[in-house]
Amino acid sequence: MARGTGGRERGGGPAGAGALLALSPDRFTAERNALAAKLADAGDARGAAEVRRLRRPVGLAWLLNRVVRDRPDDVAALLSAGDRLRAGQRRALAGQGAAELRTAEEALRTSARALRGRAREVLEEEGRPASPGALARVELLLRVAATAPGETREALRAGTFSREPEVAAEDLSGLGLVAGAPPPAATAGGPGAGGAAEPARRARAAPPETAGRRGAPSAAGGAPAKSSKERRAEQAARERAEREARLRERAIASAQARLEEAEKTAREARQAAGAAERSAEVARSRAERAEATVAARRSALEALRRGH
């Protein structure tokens, strides 16, 4: 994290405090206490107290913080792709820019995959297992954070996660629908964005006698005829629902594909581990037999030297 003046981090904490959040869990407590003691010895009692209050990041949050701090350019590309995805989803919901949405999705995956590679390196450097499941989780969390609003996005930008970003139960891809996407623009002469569907909703919900007072009776006798504006609003609502369903189907298909890919990777990893264990067992047996042969031949040599 970039530092400001007066030995403070740009975010307002003591210098070096933010870097603690990027430490592996087994190093966090000792280095936090050492930094707090250093600040106290330097006369910065407030800074020392702030550092002592820091808690070890939960789950894979520390790993996210580390890769963010190690690869700021890749993080900038990830955030940019997240912006493009959010904008692309809004345009797609309005019936435009499907190709742009696909391009943004691929850019987000590519950026998250690059940071996943760094996560593997960090785990290996720390002597921790870089399991396919953990790396897939890191990639998913990066995609989720890049498309999230507010504090989650800022934590990604600064590398200051205290816990893993929340992932919706149905979103296994990190490419779920953007929350709060605006509805399609209203037709000419209608209300503002999102307002065109409201008259139709009220008309459908209104009691028969109320609707009869507003609309002219139809030839069928008593049922109110819908105005052209109401028909347009209902059509717009149906089209928006269809677009949302198509986007959801695409997200589900993408999540299913990535799940199958992860399952395949896990199967291959288990098979490789089993083969390695079998090879290790064979090697141990050979080593034991070789050591027994060495011992027998050493005994024979010593017996010959003694003249027996």
User: Within this chain, do residues 272 and 307 fall inside the same structural domain, yes or no?
Assistant: yes
Whether the CB-CB separation of 67 and 115 falls below 8 Å is answered with yes
- Which residue range is the domain that position 42 belongs to? 17-53
Q: What is the pLDDT tens value at each position of the chain, 308 positions in all? A: 333 334 555 555 666 777 899 998 899 999 999 999 999 999 999 989 999 999 999 999 999 999 999 999 999 999 999 988 888 877 777 666 677 788 888 889 999 999 999 999 999 999 999 899 889 999 999 999 998 888 898 999 999 899 998 886 544 444 544 544 444 343 333 434 444 344 444 444 444 444 444 444 444 455 567 788 888 888 888 877 777 777 777 777 766 776 777 677 777 777 777 777 777 778 877 887 888 888 888 878 887 888 76
Question: Are the C-beta atoms of 23 and 31 separated by less than 8 Å?
Answer: yes
User: In this structure, is the dihedral angle defined by the CA atoms of residues 228, 229, 234 and 237, taken in order, positive or negative?
Assistant: positive
Residues 226 and 265 in one domain: no
Burial of 105 (0-12, 13-18, 19+ CB in 10 A): buried
The reply to whether 101 and 150 lie within a common domain is: yes
Q: Tell me, yes or no, whether 225 and 307 share the same domain.
A: no
225 and 289, same domain (yes or no): no
Q: How far is CA 292 from CA 32, 281, 287, in A?
A: 51, 17, 9
Three-state DSSP state, 217: strand
Q: Which of 190, 174, 280 is nearest to 237 (CA)?
A: 190
The H-or-E segment that residue 197 falls in is: helix 197-205
**Angle, vertex CA 262, rays to CA 261 and CA 265, nearest 5:** 90
Q: Is residue 206 part of a domain?
A: yes
State whether residue 171 is helix, strand or coil: coil
**pTM beyond 0.75:** no
Count of Cβ atoms closer than 10 Å to residue 302 Cβ: 10
Q: What is the DSSP letter of 131?
A: -
Asked whether residue 181 is assigned to any structural domain, the reply reads no
Q: How many domains does the chain have?
A: 4
Say if residue 74 is in the same domain as residue 23: no
**Dihedral, 190, 191, 197, 199 alpha carbons, nearest 10:** -90
**What is residue 36's predicted lDDT score, i.e. its pLDDT?**
92
Q: What is the pLDDT of residue 294?
A: 87
pLDDT at residue number 198: 44
179 within some domain: no
Tell me: do 284 and 199 sit in the same domain.
no
pLDDT of residue 15: 65
Q: Output the pLDDT for position 183.
A: 41
Q: Could you please report the per-residue DSSP string of 140-168?
A: HHHHHHHT--HHHHHHHHHT--SSPPP--
> What is residue 6's predicted lDDT score, i.e. its pLDDT?
42
Specify the amino acid at residue 272.
A
Identify the three-state secondary structure at position 267: helix
